[in-house]
Amino acid sequence: MARYIKEGNTICKSNDSRATILYGDVVKLGTRVGIAASNISPGEIGSISVVGVYEMAAEKTEVFSIGDTAYLNESGNITKTKGDTIAGWIVEDKPSGTPVAIVKIG
């Protein structure tokens, strides 16, 4: 049996780092990502969006097609290279030379 808790578009996350998480920052959540829904000061709890479509910094030379799996690399950019952190999937074609990708997270 399951009991409904909430819609699930956002989750609460503690900022355990020494730096403020800024609105719009990509936040690693284990093997997934979320997007900060507000500034979160160190030691505070804030909202992280885990559903939605976002424009995210991407490896400029990579080409993406709708449906490609998007990964977050160590530089904080979207890439097609398999890694530990799945960002989501591409929802708009991206030609080489474009510095951003449109990614559906969640």
* Integer Cα distance of 19 and 4 in angstroms: 34
The reported pTM is: 0.91
| pLDDT of the residue at 35 | 98
Which residue ranges of the chain lie beneath pLDDT 70? none
| 20 close to 40: Cβ distance less than 8 angstroms | yes
pLDDT value of residue 106: 85
Q: For residue 39, with 0-12 CB atoms within 10 Å meaning exposed, 13-18 middle and 19 or more buried, which class applies?
A: middle
User: Containing domain of residue 41, as a range?
Assistant: 10-50
Is 45 part of any domain? yes
Whether residue 99 sits in one domain with residue 72? yes
Residue 83 is predicted with a pLDDT of 85
Same domain, 98 and 57: yes
Question: Structurally, how many domains does the chain consist of?
Answer: 2
Return the pLDDT at 84. 81
Regarding whether 30 and 61 lie in a shared domain, the answer is: no
5 lies in some domain? no
The pLDDT, as a whole number, for residue 53 is 98
